[in-house]
Amino acid sequence: MKTDSKKTVIITGATSGIGLACARAFARDGYRVIVTGRSQSKLQPVVDELRQAGCDVMPLLFDVRDRAAAMAAVQGLPGQWQAIDVLVNNAGGALGLEPEYEGDFDDWDAMIDANIKGLLTMTRLVVPGMVARNRGHVINIGSVAGDAAYAGGNVYCATKAAVKALTDGLRIDVAHTAVRVTNIKPGLVETNFSVTRFHGDSARAEKVYDGIEPLTGDDIADVALYAANAPAHVQIAEVLVLATHQASVSVIHRQA
């Protein structure tokens, strides 16, 4: 168990984008930070950066889609790291933009396994301790895509709709405790999201953000930190965050 008053956050998918921005934001705010990632070569620079900034950091190398690996990593945390105050379920992503009837089976499995099952695995591993301690906060990174489908988004949109339902369901399940649950739903955020969606086609990915100033990972990390640091009696249940010229999942005004 922890012997000091410093809070501990665990952030999945912390090697880039929103996850990396959250790691930096929580570190600056004095949290003890557990960062997870699938690649040692990407995870180690994050660890080095945070340590150089004076942060207590613990790396966990595993893929959230691998339940056994996730269990071994979380259950193997040293004693002072086990009392997790904040869980940021960020790992996941989108793959492909084909019509549903032409979708790639492997892409579907990857999205469902990471965006839904990975989130469930981490929730199941971390939240029982929060309930037992009667404190804690789960922050799920959802998406505006969970509110409405868009062309080609089919399965990805379905996974983010599931994130909303799972977040709402968990909030109901822990209502008898002081554990808080938040769903953050970003719109267009310029990270490696689109590069991943298009399987490494960076030229195609860049066109997603043509004519509009998108959100950044830092913008979403600011929201996550605000929710985590709200007074104990305040639960930020859901936040929709859009770029100024994005009105909805599909209505975007682009400058010529």
Residues 6 or more apart from 159 whose CB is under 8 A from it?
92, 111, 112, 115, 116
Catalytic choice (31, 150, 156, 209): 156
d(CA 236, CA 223): 10
Of 50, 18, 25, the C-alpha closest to 216 is: 18
Packed helices 217-229 and 17-28: angle between N→C axes, nearest 10 degrees:
50
Of 84, 193, 182, the C-alpha closest to 142 is: 182
156 flagged as catalytic: yes
* Both structure tokens of 84: 């997790």
Residues 6 or more apart from 228 whose CB is under 8 A from it?
9, 26, 86, 137, 139
Residues 6 or more apart from 164 whose CB is under 8 A from it?
142, 146, 147, 183, 185, 238
d(CA 188, CA 209): 8
What residues are labeled active site?
A: 156
